[in-house]
Amino acid sequence: MNNPYAAPRAEVADLAPTDVGPQEVQRRALIRHEVQLKSVGALYYLGGAITVLSALALLGQSFDGSYLGLGAIGLLLLGMMYLTLGYGFRRLKSWIRIPGGIITALGLFSFPVGTLIGGWILYLMFGEKGRQVLAPEYQDVIAATPHIKFQRSIGDWIALGVVVLLVLGFAALIALGLSRS
């Protein structure tokens, strides 16, 4: 007697391949952490660009013999350092742990936002996954698994949209403030 509700007895031939190497397993386990560290690099790039532009604006106004020029040069050096940190984070360089840790630890004193963001960055860098991602050997894992890409969820895209809208809103407020003065 045939049971119409019984599971089919046919063999299923579309099983996923199980010949996944250890590098692919490691990369899949760490891909989100990798993306988060690269996002920190994007933040440092943004901060560095704003700092360098501010320094250049100050340099343009400092030809009256005041100490404003020295401050602008210091600001320019700080911006260049931020851009270097951004490069290290975006490329997941192992040397980023020391200068990134020092600068981020100094940012902990910027209560409350700097403390929260700095604590998160320190966790990303010095946690177990961060130590693996920033290890020199992990560059070999990345080179061996270029086909693995991070898949953003809908929540990631919504958060990105909110951040972009906030940045555009602040830029519009700054532009309006400058046009009124």
Q: What is the pLDDT of residues 106-140, one digit of tens each?
A: 999 988 888 999 999 999 999 999 999 999 999 99
**3-state DSSP assignment of residue 145:** coil
Residue 181: pLDDT band (50, 70, 90) is low
User: How far, in Å, CA of 124 to CA of 67, rounded?
Assistant: 39
The confidence score (pLDDT) of residue 64 equals 64
User: How far, in Å, CA of 1 to CA of 130, rounded?
Assistant: 60
Average pLDDT over the chain, rounded to an integer:
89
**3-state DSSP assignment of residue 51:** helix
Neighbouring CB atoms inside 10 A of 133's CB total: 26
Share of residues in the chain with pLDDT > 90 (%): 65
Length of the chain (residues): 181
78: closest CA among 65, 40, 70, 121? 70
- Across 8-14, average pLDDT: 71
Give the predicted TM-score (pTM) of the model.
0.77
Q: Where are the domains of the chain?
A: 24-146
Q: What is the pLDDT of residues 52-100, one digit of tens each?
A: 999 988 887 766 666 777 888 999 999 999 999 999 999 999 999 999 9
